Structure 1
Amino acid sequence: MTKKRISQALLIIILTLGAITMLVPFIWMLSTALKTAPETVKVPPTWIPKHMQWQNFVTAWHAAPFLTYFINSLIVTTVTTIGQLFTTILAAFAFSRLNFYGKNFLFALFLSTMMVPGEMLIIPNFVTLSKFSLINTYGALIIPWLASFFAVFTLRQTFNAIPNELYYAAKLDGSSDWHFLWTMMVPLSKSAITAIGILEVIGSWNSFMWPLIVTNTAKVRTLPVGLNAFTSDAGTQFQLLMAASTFVILPMIIVYLCLQKYIIAGISKSGLKG
Structure 2
Amino acid sequence: MSTVAHDSTAVLGRHLQRIRHSPGVVILTQTMPITMLLFFGYVFGSALATPGEEYRAFLVPGLLAATAAGGIMTGMFQSAQDAQRGVMDRFRTMPMSRIAVPLGQTAADVLTTAIGIVPLVLVGIAVGWRIEGGVPGALGAFGLLLLFRLATTWVGAYLGLLIRNEEIAGQLGSVTFVLPLLSNAYIPTEGLPGWLRVVSEWNPISAVAAAVRELCGNVSPSADAAWPLANPVAGALLWSVVILAVFVPLTVRKYTTSGT
User: Could you say which TM-score interval applies, normalised by the shorter chain?
Assistant: 0.3 to 0.5
Q: Relative contact order, CA 8 A, sep 6+: which one is greater?
A: 1
Q: TM-score, normalised by structure 2?
A: 0.35
Q: TM-score, normalised by structure 1?
A: 0.34
Q: Higher helix proportion, which one? A: 2
